[in-house]
Amino acid sequence: MKVMAKGFTLIELVVVIIVLGILAVVAAPRFINLTQDAHDASIKSAFASFTTGVKLYHSCWLTSGKSGYQMNLACYGDGTLDSSVTGYPLGTDTSTSKNGTLLNGDNCKEIWQGLLDNDEYTLESHINNTFDKGDDIIYWYSGGPMTDANTYCYYNYIADDRSKGAENWELKYYPATGKTEVGRSALSI
């Protein structure tokens, strides 16, 4: 009586290797991109929280019965966030804001920190920034007077790609109207 050896044939092994290779080619890019997906979801959530904070702050300003520029609006957060003349967040130290009518770069960081009571992201000013530190978000402003429709704070999320000219998620906040815009933008160094 002859005993038959059990096992796989060469053809079966080659077919399995080919199928595994095809699966790896199709599935690997999807798994590799999960890191970027996590960055995108994280910053979109933070930007949405910022937008919600702006709306809540303005609602607080409206229901307080006050009008115009207000310092230390007590009904929002810890009560240290000042308003613009239109009732939107402007910063915590607005003594140089000409009674809520002028935006400066430091105000943008104060607004972020006043609306989002967390230290999840490291913010760094765009001025003299080398983009090589552990900074997550680069902030600054454009314009200055609230009467200028192009006066806004910008927050660029660079933690996912610090390379020069890279497109990153950006939030623009217009303190005269409370408008926020989220999109992709490249920062210049």
Mean pLDDT of 47-60: 95
Q: Tell me the residue length of the chain.
A: 189
Query: Please, which pLDDT band fits residue 132 given cuts at 50, 70 and 90?
Result: low
All residues at 6 or more sequence positions from 80 whose CB lies less than 8 Å from its CB, including other chains: 72, 92, 114
- Which is higher by pLDDT, 33 or 181? 181
**Backbone phi and psi for residue 174, each to the nearest 5 degrees, phi listed first:** -105, 100
The string of pLDDT tens digits covering residues 145-188 is: 999 999 999 999 998 888 878 899 999 999 999 999 999 998 77
Compute the distance between CA of residue 84 and CA of residue 132 in angstroms, rounded to an integer.
Answer: 34
Query: Please, which pLDDT band fits residue 122 given cuts at 50, 70 and 90?
Result: confident
Helices 105-115 and 34-63, packing angle to 10 deg: 90
At residue 165, the pLDDT reads 82
Q: Identify whether the C-beta of residue 116 lies closer than 8 Å to the C-beta of residue 52.
A: no
**Backbone phi and psi for residue 139, each to the nearest 5 degrees, phi listed first:** -125, 160
Q: pTM higher than 0.85, yes or no?
A: no
At residue 118, the pLDDT reads 74
At residue 183, the pLDDT reads 95
Element (H, E) at 8: none
Q: How much is the mean pLDDT over the chain?
A: 89
Mean pLDDT of 84-94: 94
* Cα 83 versus chain centre, distance: 22
Element (H, E) at 122: none
